[in-house]
Amino acid sequence: MVPFLLACLGANPQDSAEKVYERASQSVLTITVHRAHGAESVGTAFLAIQKDVAVTAWHVLKGARSITAKLSDGSEVKVLGVIDKNADLDVALLQVDSGSRPILPLADGDPKIGAKAYVIGAPKGLDFSMSDGIISQTPYFGQGKLYQFTCPVSPGNSGGPLLNSNGEVLGVVSWQFKDAQNLNFAVPSRFVSDLDASKNAVSFLVKAEPGPPKVFTTVADDDLVAILSENDLESKGMDDGTGKMALIFDSEGSKIALFQYAVTNDPGPTTNLAMSASYDSTSQIALTKLNIFNRTHRFARSYKDTEGKVYIENDLDLAAGTSSAAISRYVTDFVESVKEFETDVLGREKGDGGFTAFHKGTGEDKLVTSMDEKSILAMLAEIGVKPKIDDDGSGCNRFSFTINGNEVSLYQFVEGKEGAKSLTLSLGLDLPTKCDMAKVNAFNESVRFVKAFLDDDGDPFLVSDFDIEGGVSIGTVKEWITTFAKTVPAFREQIVGKGQ
């Protein structure tokens, strides 16, 4: 079968990169995955095994409502559904209407270390880009052997073919180590051959027609379960240890808790959400690692409690109105933060979800998904603030003002012409003496919606981040600012001491 396919494609042993691309690119697809609430992502697939079958990585397809695919000549290919998958190995087969396009041959056996390799895909949405490198190792991970390769890849390459110099598919591009250089991995093509291409395709969910987003000021468990399910996260209710119910779900081996809380202990839906993962550390986690994480990551806080358990948490205030899309984004962003936390701080150590809570907001008004300079100035004026505006040195607008006697900076992270998609509040203390790291950690353990850390000079900072893109109300943003200002005195007292 393979010699016949090679003959059809006109392949010759050890073809040049130009020849490999000329043939293989005909069989590569760029796929756009449409998920709930209008969310989209880009990946890659390729035609293989038999006519009208495309291979890709399973994580590219998770949660898809529908998929749009196109070929290198710009023509669209109809995607009918998933034929078969192996979620553990991260491979899947799609049924497509590929017409007369050729299929790529799958290579037999493992490649040699140092063998030439190529990748074709859509890194960062740059369709049908090619990169080259070598096979650097064939290590074992979890389910079996993978192919480690040095061809540069980025998000959007996932699901694409890893090719040899004969134009044969060695494997399916799957994942890479973050904060590393060209440590990329592909699932061997023999695992693709184990999938059953004769199955009937399972259609994707019909994508809902666009309409006004559902807005929550309180949220019931059923709504939360639905939002988790839309992101392919299956949850179960459990007591969090304090008498409150939490939704527990697993994401790639990480156990995460999503729960509701309020200042009062009244039963029923509440106005606040929290997500948490906690870890019983088998080794001493230095507070400096937690400090670095808090300094370099937004929308999440980490700390170590008095018993040595390590936590990562994030909160969401619904009281003034938050869309279902914003809650969905809150969940998926936290899942990504947990992965980075486990890698950067714990070295992939796993554990159980943790739980704690407080804070309540008020108010309700129109949702916004971005804020430009004019709208920020108007909002600050409504709470009696007249800021000074400058550039923080990195291209972000900085609004400096005094609120409740506290000097605060509001940073506007602008993306394109639509205005800020996220905001950050910050307050720094320039101390004559070095601050105690243990005090910073204790502060992070005791509060919500903010985090503290020490900068490179050892000065303490209080920071809070706010994501606008999913849809929030102006009232919620104002509540966020005033709550931050109320937290500053406690920060000063706990970090510096009373009377400072």
Provide the pLDDT confidence category of residue 30 given band limits of 50, 70 and 90: very high
Kindly give the residue spans of alpha helices, DSSP state H, lying in 342-436.
373-382
DSSP of 415-428: -TTS-EEEEEEEEE
Q: Which of 60-64, 346-350, 417-421 has the lowest mean pLDDT?
A: 346-350
- The residue ranges of every structural domain in the chain are 2-193, 215-495
Residues 6+ positions from 120 with CB-CB distance below 8 Å? 21, 24, 25, 28, 44, 46, 128, 129, 130, 160, 161, 163
Which residues lie closer than 8 Å to 336 by C-beta, 6 or more apart? Answer: none
Amino acid at 487: T
CATH fold, domain 215-495, is Yope Regulator; Chain: A, (3.30.1460)
Residue predicted with more confidence, 110 or 284: 110
C-alpha 290/C-alpha 279 separation (Å) is: 13
Residue 24 pLDDT grade (very low, low, confident, very high; cuts 50, 70, 90):
very high
- CA dist 434 and 428 (Å) reads 14
In sequence order, which residues have a C-beta less than 8 Å from that of residue 316 and are 6 or more positions away? 272, 273, 274, 322, 326, 327, 330
Contact 280, 309 (CB under 8 A): yes
Percent of the chain with pLDDT over 70: 83
Give me the residue label for tokens 């009373």: 498
Q: Among 114-123, 361-370, 384-393, 490-499, name the one with the lowest average pLDDT.
A: 361-370
Q: Which CATH class is domain 2-193?
A: mainly beta
- Rounded mean pLDDT of 443-459? 87
**pLDDT, averaged across the chain:** 81
Give CA separation, 144 vs 55, 76, 305, 394, 452, in Å. Answer: 19, 35, 37, 44, 42
Identical fold between 2-193 and 215-495: no
Confidence of residue 414 (pLDDT cuts 50, 70, 90): low
Question: What is the average per-residue pLDDT within 309-334?
Answer: 86
Q: What is the pLDDT of residue 363?
A: 33
CB-based contacts of 165, cutoff 8 Å, min separation 6: 13, 14, 15, 20, 115, 116, 118
